[in-house]
C-alpha cells in the first residue's frame, strides 16, 4: 500500500512538472538530452517508467537477455506483406467497364483525364465516388 501511495504521488508530481524539468529528468536518467522534437507525453511516460523501475524493479533477466539477443541479431531483409505493384499506365482510348447494382458504367481514358457520362474527371476515384456514393479507390473499383 505504501508503494502504491508513493507511486501515485510521484506520478502526480511528474504530470505537474514543466517541460524543462522533464527534459532535465531525462538527462539525469539517460545521461544525454532527449531526442529532438520529443513530445511532452513521451517525456512523462519515460519519467513514470523510471519511477516504476526504481520502486518495483525493471524487466526480468530473461526478458533482458531476449531483447539483447534480438538487438544483436543482424538485420534481415524481410519482404513486405504486400508487394509494391507498379502503377498501370492506361493508354488513351482504353475503355473501362464496371457493373454496379445492375447498371453498367463505362469510362473512356483520354490523354489527360477520364470521360464518364460526357463529363471529364481527373481521377478514377472521383468517378467511383460518384457511382457508389462512397469513397472508393478508383483503380480498385474498376479492377485495375
Q: CB neighbours of 56 closer than 8 A, spacing ≥ 6?
A: 3, 7
Task: Yes or no: say if 115 and 108 are a contact pair by the CB < 8 Å rule.
Answer: yes
Q: Write down the pLDDT at residue 86.
A: 65
Q: 101: exposed, middle or buried (C-beta count within 10 Å: 0-12, 13-18, 19+)?
A: exposed
Q: Write down the pLDDT at residue 100.
A: 86
Beta strand 114-116 with 103-109 is antiparallel
Summary count for the chain: helices (H), strands (E): 6, 4
* Segment 12-15 long-range contacts (CB within 8 Å, at least 24 positions apart): 14/44, 14/47, 14/48, 14/51, 15/44
Domain boundaries, the chain: 2-71, 95-141
Q: Write down the pLDDT at residue 7.
A: 81
Whether the predicted model's global pTM rises above the 0.75 cut: no
Q: Write down the pLDDT at residue 111.
A: 87
pLDDT, tens digit only, all 144 positions of the chain: 556 678 888 889 999 999 999 999 999 999 999 999 899 999 999 999 998 888 888 888 899 899 998 888 877 666 656 666 666 678 888 898 888 888 898 999 988 889 998 889 888 899 888 888 888 888 888 887
Q: Write down the pLDDT at residue 44.
A: 93
Q: List alpha helices for the chain, DSSP H.
A: 2-16, 19-30, 40-56, 61-72, 124-132, 138-141
Measured CA to CA, the distance from residue 22 to residue 13 in angstroms comes to 11
Amino acid at each position: 500500500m505504501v508503494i502504491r501511495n508513493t507511486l501515485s504521488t510521484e506520478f502526480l508530481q511528474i504530470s505537474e512538472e514543466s517541460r524543462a524539468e522533464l527534459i532535465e529528468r531525462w538527462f539525469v536518467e539517460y545521461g544525454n538530452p532527449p531526442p529532438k522534437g520529443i513530445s511532452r507525453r513521451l517525456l512523462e511516460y519515460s519519467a513514470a517508467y523510471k519511477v516504476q523501475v526504481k520502486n518495483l524493479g525493471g524487466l526480468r533477466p530473461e526478458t533482458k537477455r531476449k531483447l539483447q539477443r534480438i538487438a544483436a541479431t543482424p538485420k534481415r531483409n524481410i519482404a513486405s506483406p504486400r508487394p509494391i505493384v507498379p502503377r498501370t499506365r492506361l493508354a488513351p482510348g482504353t475503355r473501362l467497364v464496371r457493373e454496379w447494382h445492375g447498371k453498367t458504367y463505362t469510362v473512356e481514358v483520354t490523354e489527360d483525364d477520364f470521360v464518364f457520362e460526357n463529363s471529364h474527371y481527373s481521377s478514377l476515384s472521383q468517378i467511383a465516388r460518384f457511382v457508389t456514393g462512397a469513397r472508393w479507390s478508383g483503380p480498385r473499383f474498376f479492377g485495375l
